[in-house]
Structure 1
Amino acid sequence: MFDFFEFCNEMLCVADNRGYFTRVNQAWTSTLGWSAEELTSRPYFEFVHPDDLAATIRESQMLRSGTYETVAFENRYRCRDGSYRWLSWRVKFAPGTKELVAAARDVTTDKLQAEALREAKERFAVLATQAPVGIFQSDRNAQCAFVNQHWTELTGLTSEESLGHGWMRAIHHEDLPRVMAKWQNCIENQLEYRDEYRLVQSSGGVRYVIAVARATADADGNLVTYIGTLLDITERKEAEERFQAYMNNSPAIAWAKDEAGRIVYINRTCENRFGIRLADWQGKTDFDIWPPEVAQPLWDNDRKVFAGGNPITVIEKKSNGDDEQSYWMNIKFLFRDRSNRQFIGGIGIDITEIKQTTNDLKSKQDLLRNLIEVQEQEKQFLCREFHDGLIQYVFGAVMLLESCLNKPNAPENMAKISSAISTLRRGIEDGRRVISGIRPDVLDDMGLEAAMQDLVGQFENSGIHITSRCDPEIGRLPNTLQTAVYRVAQEALNNAKKYSGTDVIRIKLTKDNGNLHLEVRDFGNGFDVEEARKRGFGLLGMNERVRLLDGEFLIQSDPDEGTCISVRLPIPKSSEAS
């Protein structure tokens, strides 16, 4: 009996009616730190926490009064180091004596755990009440066991209506099948649940929410419950929809790329402009989409933004397919997402027409400048021709005639007068030659077909064989139309003579469907058309003559392949009728 008392794990003791321990076992020392002598030398009430003393005395009095045979209570006992331990007591009188026998068990850990659990429950209750999110708990069958007040406000259901499978009534009917399928998959695999869906409130209003729930399992890994939250994202969703509507209805294209140059976003305007969808371009770089000569400048400008961090405005070229190019004024800028990742954003306006208009204006400025130069050259030419030709003939005739004034009837003067007449005739012919160079008489007198034949005749001694075919149905045409065709043909023949090295030229002039067609083809060296457009006033002048009459001017040429100039000019209705 002694050994059991001494070595029992519970704290066993005997106390007399004076309020002293008369005997304690070793568990007291190991639990509280006091020796047996210290414990038995003081009244046992001295070891009780002051806050628990009154209740402890009350329990002792009820036992001594015979109200109870055994009392059970808890109190805190002071340890030797000044701390306190919670003890759970069972006390009774020893049979046939006035001594108390008691067993005390250290429940400090249980008390602390219970207190922590109580505090946790209180914190959860406060959190569930005050949290600006819906909170819910469901079991392994997706049956709801708890919802907080905010959850009921979001769904429009009461707490009672939400329990079990009642919570499903709040989910939009279009989203419910997807939500349930995802819940089932998460439950079967104990996965975190995360989804966006719509709630339909009893008032008919729709709210967008994000639901997140995590599984809790028992010690054996079996699913016990899911605890989750419901976050109202209606304002964010509506803001996203407004932004998306704004971007999709913007007349400007918009896009975003990551640091590797991969496209992460394009707006609908961009999709429609290039005939694609976001999925077609997402994750691709400019080099995956455009030819290298187009992609490289785009990427170079992107890198400038990434390197400098400042927005830039640039004019960039893109391909529309079928070798057609478009020009864009693009604003590129840097931005970061919530994870501080860098992206480049862009907004672009199609300026192809503006670019073309600018180029046309520059061409017209070049043409005007060259026309002024040509006018000056023509003035110099006329001055030179009249000075060296016509004026010299007239001056010679005047000198001859003046020499006859003193002896008008002298026989030798007849020869001088005859010579003067011949000189004047040569002057007249020379003047006609100059005038014909400016505008051939045959064009006004006999029409376009005769003028074309006359033009071909001027090249008889050039070493070039020219064949000409004119449609006899052409008839009489307005002067502006005849002049344009004549000058284009004249310029084309002169260019072929000077630069092509050809010995054969073919000219064809036809009429059909209310249009006049001119074709001048040589079989010489050919040239780069784009380079020639930049340098050659002749091509620019021909093109402008045709454009002013609402016609079309086309030139085809390749090195060593010869050149073909084609012109289409609409014939005015009144001219066709005549």
Structure 2
Amino acid sequence: MPDLEEHWLHKFEQVIKTGQATRFNHYLAGLDRWFTMYATRLGDENSRQLALVFNDITSQKKAEETLRQSEEQKTFLLKLSDVLRSIQDPVKIQEVAAQAALDYFKADRCYYCEIQGDKSIIRQDAFRGNLPSVSGTYALSSFPIFKAVLQKKQPFVMPDVHTTNLLDDDLKQLCCQLKVISFIDIPVVKSGKPVGILCITNCNPRNWTNSEVDLAEVLAERTWAAVERARAEEDLRQSEARFRLMADAVPQAIWLTDAQGQVEFINKWWTDYAGAPFKPTSVAEITSRFVHPEDAPKVEAAFQKAQQTGKGFEVEQRNLSANGAYRWFINRGEPYRNPQTGQIENWVGTSVDIHDRKQAEEAVRRTGEQLRNFNTLLEQQVTERTQALKENRDRLQSVFDTTLLSMSILEAVRNENGDITDFKIKFVNKEFEQVTGRTDLLGKFLIEEFPGVSTSGLYTAMLRVIETGKPDQMEYFYPFDGFNNWYSAMFVKLNDGLVLSNLDITERKLAEAELVKNLTLLQQTEELVGLGSWEFNPENAEFKWSEGMYRLFRVKCGTPVQLETYLDYVVTKDRPKAEKIIRLIRQKADSFEETLRFNINDHTQTLKVKGIAVKDEAGVTVKMLGLILNITEIKNLEEENLVLRLQQQKDLLLAILEAQEEERRRISESLHNGVAQILYAAQLSLEQAVSATIPATRAELKSILNKSENLIKDAIRETRQASHELVPLLLQEFGLDAAMKNFCERFSHTGLNLSCIGLEQRLEKHLELAIYRITQELVNNIAKHSGATRGRVELFREGESLIIEAQDNGKGLNLNTTHRKGIGLKTIRDRVNLLGGTLSIESELGRGTLITIILPMQTPRITNLE
């Protein structure tokens, strides 16, 4: 065998010398093959002959080498993947991948080149020794070899630039200058387009193996995938950051659950409101903890129905806040479906505070914080990362489309000097479209479409937020562009633009205006009627007075007061009452009312104090409210009225006594002029019979006795008539109608045509007697003083009044002098006044008189009307 290697000859010499056979493997470089060889000596110890057995094991060795290299490559790729997975910076990924390739291939330079249009960008390269860096941006036209690699879309392997015919002289010279003598260029092609090249170079010629080229291809693909993954994750982080920033402009709760109702996210606004940090929980548990017990069943039912039907839901509910109070919210939820399967994966929604609106409806509801990420880690292929980004955007759209806020994203439009001249509308939600009635606003300019923005103060606030970067908010009235409403706006800077949110607060503003109006009316009322109001908070014992209270007590407005301030002014005798009021207020009594006297500026003032407890929906007293009314003048008037009534009672009593005295005089006169005269005549007649000197004949005596008998009968009749007038038995037995008719019949022989009509209905005894005496006096006046030929006295009822009319055709009265003459008419008037009635007289001289008396059915019960 020619060119037998020295190693072999040495092995053969040892076998001849020792006689011991040997077996060994050896690589024969000249033949590029592996052999296993067996050598043994033939003959005795002096023999120089050998027996040799050769076996070509090149295939076996190559298979073993291939397996070893494969294992090394797998280990290398696994370690590289582990390292790249934790790196988020695309440039850092390129740097780490290049350095790993440099070390594994034992190359002199390695870099990943990005292809963008006609440019190749080397962001970071790895190299050994003092080789110059080649990072930078290059035109593909200056690297024909790159263009050729990209066009063929196949790896380009160069063992030695000195001996190749594939490179022109200029390119060879450039390679020599950069010490790139041998290299591999691996193109990365996606969707038929080149996106990058992995380059591995050596300063010396090198025969690159197929396994090395294959490994380089895998490395190029993984480097590209890692870079794209990092960029996708960076895009995702920026999207989520924008998502959180936009959510910061939303003063409402935002939530996310899975399809079964397990809560995956609640924003910070809600955790601040509820005073409880977020932790994974369920819709049912949140409902149980924070929703008012009366509202919890309908909230659970609405969510369960939405899960069954796959449709959104909306429900109004009261949520518990950190301070223990409930506020009204409108809770909206919408399903998010997987774009490929159509299955519901999440429920997203918002919960907006509508407490102010609820209060306004009954009397006549913060800015959202950061939104946490959705715990969706996209660790798969770039296509999966892109899909996750789309899903995130869809969820964001769902959130914004369920809010009651009008939201938009605006981009500043600047002139050549960098000054902002307008804002371009980049995004609007459905509520914005619904409020404006426009669906064509994307891409248009804010001021051009809504000129009123520049004059309403909005534009100035927007420029200020852009300039300072600090969020701002304002309330404004917008009577432009077909609107006539109040809004609450919040501005948050986003890059060179804004996130703008608007909430219609017209109802709240109208309610506030109504509240101011009512407060003004209350203040005016307090000042007008001497009224004051107070408020006591049991939680902190804070006691407040209204302006009216300060005026009542002549204290400077704003002076600190407390419950014990009452004790500084109350008079000594009423101090126990004041202490009782203080005790009732502190004990939160449901209500109380008390009248006290206070010494204010050396004047005693009588004040009525009222208080009432104000309770929450749980029946717990949250405050005490009260009024104080100055009733000093009322008290004084009551005292004056009492004196007046006593004087009136005295006058009435005197009138009754005078009437009684007049009645006695009339009876005395009747007895004197009637009964007494008749009895006197009878006496004279009898005395005549007794004292006659000449005995009277029987006929004469009988005549005298008959005359005396007649006189005595007249006296008896007159006595009975007077008795009937004093005690009208007919009235007691048969009532006013019979008694009045009987009384009037007595005047039938006088030539007076008198009609008396009474009331068949029986009345209270004292009232019947009073009316009888009044009609008696009226009839007597007609008979004795009017000179009438016809008269009428009538009693009838109208509603709750009794009416007496007395009319005659007599000589009439002089109304200017009547009140001075005649005790009879005065007696009638006094009786009418005593019964709470009225008396009116209509009369003309020579044409008769009409007297009308109106008495109430319910009269004061006066027992002595005689």
TM-score range with shorter-chain normalisation? 0.3 to 0.5
Normalised to the residue count of structure 2, the TM-score between the two structures is 0.30
What TM-score do you get using the length of structure 1 for normalisation? 0.42
- Give the number of the structure whose alpha-carbon radius of gyration is greater: 2
